[in-house]
Structure 1
């Protein structure tokens, strides 16, 4: 057992640093949010030390204060947020006393920032090229028009956007979530800052692009990572800080903490993390989804409770005979071609996002679509949901061709088939409170009266581990993970037959992610739900999916059962995806 301090730890500097001064030193940081009832503390006495060139990761569940700590460093706290105590010293300067004008000179040029949300942090009415070039000019990196354009193309290519020169005139809505995230990373690194604060910088990225980008970040820039991916933290960060309810509960070398966690909360985080060794969850008798994880007793005997239940479920399932079920979804020769703007005046080209895609999903099972960002996964999902019209091919839902449906038949189809989108920010109406957001499908489809709808909303909040007090809150008052749980609750409101989940758990910390995956498995067993699960997280696929379709450049290159794909991949591309999973070779402790 390690003798690390788990009550008020400070992050140790590297042994090689010698007399080197810290680049960032935070002491007793306290952040609160002003409410009508007074100031609500969000960060309570955080201490951090980050040396030049070092990488430090902050992990913890949604709402633990990770992002708030990061935003406080560069004074980007939301309106009611304020630093109420403590010190933030960056490169010898006390940032907490800086004026707004002084902070503007530091942001971007000295401290780069990659926000957690790739959807709402790009202006939808400006082209990608304009937004990157604007940042380069503002930070004084380049001045001449050609020089600025060349630098913009360079940073986007470094961030993994290989055809950046062809895409500068495109707009954010023409990019996938992962491609938008790469644009934000390019913007964050454009001025070659001394410190890069990266708030979930790769949560929207597939593992192969994630690896390329993280390799690029390893250029001597100090990096402060906020992440819920423990494998990523173990592989990429020398130091790790674990936060819980606004405090640091454990800190030290990353691998040491994850292989030998001391604090019960850290132990639970590690136990909940999915891995390639995980097996499929299918039992409806798993741990109850109605408990709030934050309120659970962190006694050591409870750390592996969920894992024991999963193992018992697997043993029962293994002996059940497999019966062929009718197909809930049949996709045949599905193709989608987009027209895109060319470089010359009036020039245009085409992009084939989905190319003769064929697969089927049996009723009551889960099929996962995996592949790199831009491989066509989300495009296929949008066509199945009838949010995009296919260029050619057919989509059969329970034997019915959905292409010609309009009006009431289409509305009826959407009652039976609900989406959960990958963006927990853009998919929630900022002017609608959480209660009305979750109740919206019930109101649209005229299900129940006002009292029964409210009861259903409260039930759903319990199911996705959100306190009922949030029913009157608005999306801007919630963390990214909490917003995604609201989106999942809304999708489940009508108890649909089919749920299309587009990166539905990518924004969630591992504790809530584990609970949501168990919830989805329970609902599937109880209601015979059919899931189409789009994700780049292959460890999650291992836990949730029965079958896997691997997509590359708009085509399905490999399709088989989950066990076959993971244990015996046939395609080189599939092998590359599996090999690129961060932390795959690191054994986590419990």
Structure 2
């Protein structure tokens, strides 16, 4: 094939899905090219059509989805016209695919080796048992997994998220395809793990001159990893071109909103004042995360004037887990080791660090969901360890959680009204009429329409579900909210809206936040203070400005350096 000709050429592609209300078109005449060896990123919020485009290329659409027009030309051949058997010979062998969630895309009852070998056989890489075994080991080694022979015998639950993603990358590249489609391959990973995996992916694809179609909602990641950027909105391409040029000089209003909403090292603490919240338009509302120096100075002054009374006091906190090793043996694993910090009233303290740093374990201990091995956590002067059951129930009225996955933490069998009102029923607050009135009040508070009260979680978007989770957390009018990765799975626009909402609720209700996250760019816009954790210990702590502006520890510097696009100046 001529290197000057597109490897993949999408021309006026339309596709859609059959629903109970009729046929809904999801793509409206999409066109773009991918050259041999080129990396192209498609960005946009949920529902923009980016993943639908990727899945449509290799006919991985659900049963109710179909291509209704246009062409998918791969090396001049229209893939949309191929039969099921014909596309199966293209998929894997010539076009590799890396899905988003490794845990749901690896079968939990089959060993890693069985699944890697299955992909190798299906892609025609090897056929004899010996060759398949040898190739499977080579695939895991190339994906960066040490001790590959032993790893083949393990199961997905025995791998970390980063290791599982490496397995999927290895499987996707096992046949050395000419094109690799990577659909949000690192969205749930820590920034340092993400960087290592993407560096490994770049090395492997460069070695084989593999073109990459990269699907992501992370603009910084797209600019850092792709030469060309395609911005999608509601099934249309609204802007395309050089990645850095688009980030530094976006032309379309939607792209401008994406860039403005993306948190970065240059962002400032969100202002809760109403005047910073623009009126919702047909694009769904806009929130600006960066403000003038004068506004920033005003915010710092107001933060200094806040009540600095400690609401949460963590002293010499240690958590040790017993890990079973077989043959009735067990060993101690220290998840949190002698941790000390405080959270002042009405402020936000962020616990940051990689997976396994102990930050979520601290959150669980603060909520009374894990026991404390030694040390103490005091909430407004009351020691958690000495509280009886009645004391813990009273505490939970004052301290509520918001978890990472709103779909997993909301009961799918209950409607929204029942979900939000559940804490009121459990704590026997008010009459049925008063509880119903409170639910309506909470929907208003999190800026959701009253019409949602009788709908179910699966009928809502990710951002709406997270607003429901926040409404439920506020039902009992708590003083403290513990947010465990509460925005990490959301698109940048939805994320910006939720962060703005949290800032406004804190300003209005005087809430205190303990914010658990691995995303330091988000910390920049939401937190007053930062506690950096590594392997169960605090390595650095201070105000957000101090830690970001002048990090003392190399580990903190590594976390900051690993933020995608941290060194790419965004449009002002």
TM-score scaled by length of structure 1: 0.83
Which one of 248, 252, 258 corresponds to residue 263 of structure 1?
252
Equivalent position SS for 1:581: coil
Change (3 A) 1:37 1:161: same
Aligned to 2:67: 83
- The structure number with the bigger radius of gyration is 2
Q: How far has the Cα of 1:141 moved from its partner?
A: 4.9
Q: How far has the Cα of 1:117 moved from its partner?
A: 3.6
Aligned to 2:218: 229
Aligned to 2:13: 29
Give deviations 1:439-494, integer Å, cap 9, x for gaps. Answer: 44444444456666566556655665666665555545555555444444443444
Change (3 A) 1:233 1:89: same
Moved more, 116-125 or 142-151: 142-151
Equivalent position SS for 1:426: helix
Give deviations 1:327-373, integer Å, cap 9, x for gaps. Answer: 2222233333445565x877765543323322221221111112223
Give matches, 1:387-402, under 5 Å: 387-402=369-384
Q: How far has the Cα of 1:178 moved from its partner?
A: 5.4
- 2-structure distance, mates of 1:135, 1:449: 58
Aligned to 2:27: 43
Whether 1:357 and 2:346 are equivalent positions in the alignment is no
Which one of 402, 412, 416 corresponds to residue 394 of structure 2?
412
**Structure 1: gaps spanning 5 or more residues:** 1-16, 297-302
Aligned to 1:56: 40
Moved more, 167-176 or 572-581: 167-176
Q: Is the 8 A contact 2:52 2:61 kept in 1?
A: yes
Q: Is the 8 A contact 1:331 1:359 kept in 2?
A: yes
- 1-structure distance, mates of 2:377, 2:152: 34
Q: How far has the Cα of 1:539 moved from its partner?
A: 1.5
- 2-structure distance, mates of 1:403, 1:281: 35
- 2-structure distance, mates of 1:191, 1:166: 22
- 2-structure distance, mates of 1:128, 1:327: 48
- 1-structure distance, mates of 2:184, 2:308: 39
Equivalent position SS for 2:487: coil
Aligned to 1:14: none
Q: How far has the Cα of 1:413 moved from its partner?
A: 2.9
Change (3 A) 1:440 1:242: farther
Give matches, 1:291-310, under 5 Å: 291=280, 294-296=283-285, 307-308=290-291
Aligned residues: 566
Change (3 A) 1:140 1:99: same
Q: How far has the Cα of 1:558 moved from its partner?
A: 1.0
Moved more, 69-78 or 214-223: 69-78
Equivalent position SS for 1:514: helix
Q: Is the 8 A contact 1:368 1:548 kept in 2?
A: yes
Aligned to 2:316: 333
Change (3 A) 1:254 1:232: same
Change (3 A) 1:119 1:473: farther
CA RMSD of aligned residues (A): 3.7
- 1-structure distance, mates of 2:156, 2:568: 36
Q: Is the 8 A contact 1:63 1:479 kept in 2?
A: no
Whether 1:506 and 2:491 are equivalent positions in the alignment is no
- 2-structure distance, mates of 1:166, 1:293: 54
- 1-structure distance, mates of 2:261, 2:510: 25
Q: How far has the Cα of 1:515 moved from its partner?
A: 1.8
Equivalent position SS for 2:195: helix
- 2-structure distance, mates of 1:512, 1:255: 23
Change (3 A) 1:462 1:122: farther
- 1-structure distance, mates of 2:338, 2:561: 27
Moved more, 193-202 or 263-272: 193-202
Change (3 A) 1:415 1:203: farther
**Structure 2: gaps spanning 5 or more residues:** none
Aligned to 1:212: 196
- 1-structure distance, mates of 2:405, 2:124: 32
Aligned to 1:554: 536
Give matches, 1:91-490, under 5 Å: 91-118=75-102, 120-123=104-107, 135-136=119-120, 138-139=122-123, 141=125, 181-182=165-166, 184-218=168-202, 219-220=205-206, 221-285=210-274, 287-288=276-277, 291=280, 294-296=283-285, 307-308=290-291, 313-320=295-302, 321-322=304-305, 325-340=308-323, 350-403=332-385, 405=387, 407-447=389-429, 474-478=456-460, 480-490=462-472
Change (3 A) 1:466 1:90: farther
Equivalent position SS for 1:522: helix
Equivalent position SS for 1:556: strand
Which one of 482, 492, 497 corresponds to residue 479 of structure 2?
497
- 2-structure distance, mates of 1:156, 1:204: 21
